[in-house]
Structure 1
Amino acid sequence: MYNARFWDKAWQDSSKKAGRRRPDPKLWQEYWSYYSSRYAEHNAANKDVHQRIIDDLLAQGAIRPGDSLLDIGCGPGTYALPLAAYHVKVTGLDTSSGMLEALSTQAISAGLQKNITPLLADWQDIAPEPAYDITFAAKSPAINNYDSLMKMTKVARRACCLIGFAGKHDIGLRRLLWEKLLQEPAPGPSFDIIYPLNILYQKGYRPNVTFTTYGQTNQEPLSYLIDHYTRYFAVMGLNGPDIENNIRQFLENSAIDGYCADTSETTIGIMWWQV
């Protein structure tokens, strides 16, 4: 029977398949702290996409100016910053100190620091009680099963919003390097909106869902990409001189005048529901 637990198991099976090489949590946090400033720069390139999503959520009444909102896995402020600009009182939760530093820096620069409170913590450690008007998570690994999803409904007083991948998520150079280094197809995203959507439906919720597709091409310095992907694959358990040489050689062969084009394309689902 396709009940909530069926979809939870399907979610876990999908995560295991996509994450055959599971990153070490401590190394993963260090990786994101290292990458935080560049992540913030990439956010700026997709600023219009994020702004459009926030505008739509406000127009639908999912989020209101003056709301208190917990952004679970906030990163450098992808959504926290545009939300704060609408006078939403955002608590940005993340396990990466580097991401929270990037968030604080941008909040101060934009004059939004009064509306943003960084919180270095794990979602698992947050008390399951209604402490915020809204719980919000965008492509956050913290929301990864039935329990973590349903906890969002316990912490929110009025509504929850969840943004996840909807099938396609491709980062060109990372996919090609994965195939070269591991001699296997690169895994798809470990978080697809279909699983939490069906869990919520089976629990009696009727989420509002929309979809959007966007992409970008970044011209990245060769030296940065060598360092970036060496760190990434080290987190996945692939390290050593041979791995680094293979990464370097592949990227050098792809570079033009010291730069490589790194292209990505993503489709996401934006889902919100009342509690």
Structure 2
Amino acid sequence: MGNEDIICSEWIRERAKHPSFGEGKDYEDMQRMWNESATTYSDSQYSAISDDIVSALLSEGIVNKDSTILDIGCGTGSFALRFSPHVSKVIGSDSSPKMLERLMDNASERNVNNIEPLLSDCLSIPSDVVCDVAFSSLCPPMNDPESLLSMEAHSKRYCIYVSSANIGNGIEGEVWKALGCDYSYSGYDTTYPFEYLRSIGKDAKLRFFTQRNQSIIPIEECVNRYLRLVSKYRGMNGDMEHTIRDVIASHAKDGNIDLSREMRMGMLIWEV
């Protein structure tokens, strides 16, 4: 087995630990989840990192005022809206109509007129959509070799892929373990696509960005947060709620839960 095969096997094995795979969610289920979360989705956990990523790309000349960008899996516009003041055009592609609707509402509120929405999943983008930069951030469907390489067909110059690279799973990991599930998000670590690209001869560059988030919330608010999270993937019952409450209570101090942590994201860049 070659190095490429070894990397892909490990990548696939780790990616399969994501709750959506463990709970057997199909494409329609995930579409429904994305549409339902469109009105409440926030990038606050990564906002400083997102600012730093855009600043880095501008300062290095990878993105400039003449650039056109295809933002694959753009969501509500975390990056599209950040890029828009500094580039010629952004095409925001997403498979969720609700996400695109909120993107354009956000653009309208900011008087942004150089963002163009495109309703498409990541592997169905029309072949004539080609920009200077193909960009994707925190888009789970892009996290495999085929989807990653599909970015090249839509780029004249650079491909940029951003994903979470957090170390450990925190309380969420404990919650799933208490429910009998070995779930994690480690398969979405940017190191896997980086090592894959290098194994097939791509001169990919990887760098990491961090952001420290301070968050201390009451126990009941924390319990409700994790009840909502788990219920996105499976039906809730009394025993499960009791288990989740026990996990949260074990972290309590003076009636509160400290959810502060350092967030970490990786950015991959390679030339087409």
Question: What does the per-residue CA deviation read over 1:224-246, in whole Å, with 9 as the maximum and x for residues that have no partner?
Answer: 76665444323433434443455
Shift of 1:82: 0.7
Other structure's SS at 1:29 match: helix
Report the residue type matching 2:109 in the other structure.
Answer: S
The answer to whether the 8 A contact 2:174-2:247 is kept is: no
The answer to whether the 8 A contact 2:214-2:259 is kept is: yes
Evaluate the alpha carbon distance shift between residue 7 and residue 83 of structure 1 in structure 2; reply closer, same or farther with a 3 A threshold. Answer: same
Alignment coverage as a number of residue pairs: 270
Which structure 2 residues correspond to residues 142-161 of structure 1 after superposition, within 5 A? 142-161=141-160
User: Residue 107 of structure 1 aligns with which residue?
Assistant: 107
Q: Does 1:205 align with 2:202?
A: yes
Shift of 1:28: 2.8
CA distance in 2, matches of 1:116, 1:173: 37
CA distance in 1, matches of 2:100, 2:197: 30
Shift of 1:102: 2.7
Evaluate the alpha carbon distance shift between residue 231 and residue 25 of structure 1 in structure 2; reply closer, same or farther with a 3 A threshold. Answer: farther
The answer to whether the 8 A contact 1:80-1:116 is kept is: yes
Q: Does 1:54 align with 2:54?
A: yes
Evaluate the alpha carbon distance shift between residue 244 and residue 133 of structure 1 in structure 2; reply closer, same or farther with a 3 A threshold. Answer: same
User: Residue 178 of structure 1 aligns with which residue?
Assistant: 176
User: Residue 121 of structure 1 aligns with which residue?
Assistant: 120
Evaluate the alpha carbon distance shift between residue 232 and residue 121 of structure 1 in structure 2; reply closer, same or farther with a 3 A threshold. Answer: farther
Report the residue type matching 2:265 in the other structure.
Answer: I
Q: Does 1:39 align with 2:37?
A: no
CA distance in 2, matches of 1:151, 1:135: 10
Question: What does the per-residue CA deviation read over 1:52-71, in whole Å, with 9 as the maximum and x for residues that have no partner?
Answer: 11110122222222322111
CA distance in 2, matches of 1:235, 1:24: 13
The answer to whether the 8 A contact 2:71-2:91 is kept is: yes
User: Residue 271 of structure 1 aligns with which residue?
Assistant: 268
Evaluate the alpha carbon distance shift between residue 224 and residue 67 of structure 1 in structure 2; reply closer, same or farther with a 3 A threshold. Answer: farther
User: Residue 234 of structure 1 aligns with which residue?
Assistant: 231
CA distance in 1, matches of 2:215, 2:105: 23
- RMSD between superposed Cα atoms in Å: 3.1
Report the residue type matching 2:200 in the other structure.
Answer: K
Other structure's SS at 1:158 match: strand
Deviates more, 1:4-13 or 1:151-160: 4-13
Evaluate the alpha carbon distance shift between residue 244 and residue 97 of structure 1 in structure 2; reply closer, same or farther with a 3 A threshold. Answer: farther
Evaluate the alpha carbon distance shift between residue 272 and residue 141 of structure 1 in structure 2; reply closer, same or farther with a 3 A threshold. Answer: same
Which structure 2 residues correspond to residues 1-16 of structure 1 after superposition, within 5 A? 2-16=2-16
Deviates more, 1:69-78 or 1:244-253: 244-253
Q: Does 1:168 align with 2:170?
A: no
Evaluate the alpha carbon distance shift between residue 227 and residue 100 of structure 1 in structure 2; reply closer, same or farther with a 3 A threshold. Answer: farther
Other structure's SS at 1:187 match: coil
Deviates more, 1:49-58 or 1:252-261: 252-261
Shift of 1:162: 0.6
Question: What does the per-residue CA deviation read over 1:200-230, in whole Å, with 9 as the maximum and x for residues that have no partner?
Answer: 2233321222112223234568787666544
Which structure 2 residues correspond to residues 61-72 of structure 1 after superposition, within 5 A? 61-72=61-72
User: Residue 137 of structure 1 aligns with which residue?
Assistant: 136
Report the residue type matching 2:263 in the other structure.
Answer: T
CA distance in 2, matches of 1:90, 1:129: 15
CA distance in 1, matches of 2:240, 2:127: 43
Question: What does the per-residue CA deviation read over 1:26-77, in whole Å, with 9 as the maximum and x for residues that have no partner?
Answer: 333333333334332xx24643321111110122222222322111111221
Evaluate the alpha carbon distance shift between residue 12 and residue 46 of structure 1 in structure 2; reply closer, same or farther with a 3 A threshold. Answer: closer
Q: Does 1:25 align with 2:27?
A: yes
CA distance in 2, matches of 1:167, 1:48: 15
Evaluate the alpha carbon distance shift between residue 174 and residue 96 of structure 1 in structure 2; reply closer, same or farther with a 3 A threshold. Answer: farther
* TM-score of the two chains, using structure 2 as the length reference: 0.82
The answer to whether the 8 A contact 1:84-1:115 is kept is: yes
User: Residue 92 of structure 1 aligns with which residue?
Assistant: 92
* TM-score of the two chains, using structure 1 as the length reference: 0.81
Evaluate the alpha carbon distance shift between residue 220 and residue 94 of structure 1 in structure 2; reply closer, same or farther with a 3 A threshold. Answer: farther
Other structure's SS at 2:185 match: coil
Evaluate the alpha carbon distance shift between residue 223 and residue 108 of structure 1 in structure 2; reply closer, same or farther with a 3 A threshold. Answer: farther
The answer to whether the 8 A contact 1:219-1:262 is kept is: yes
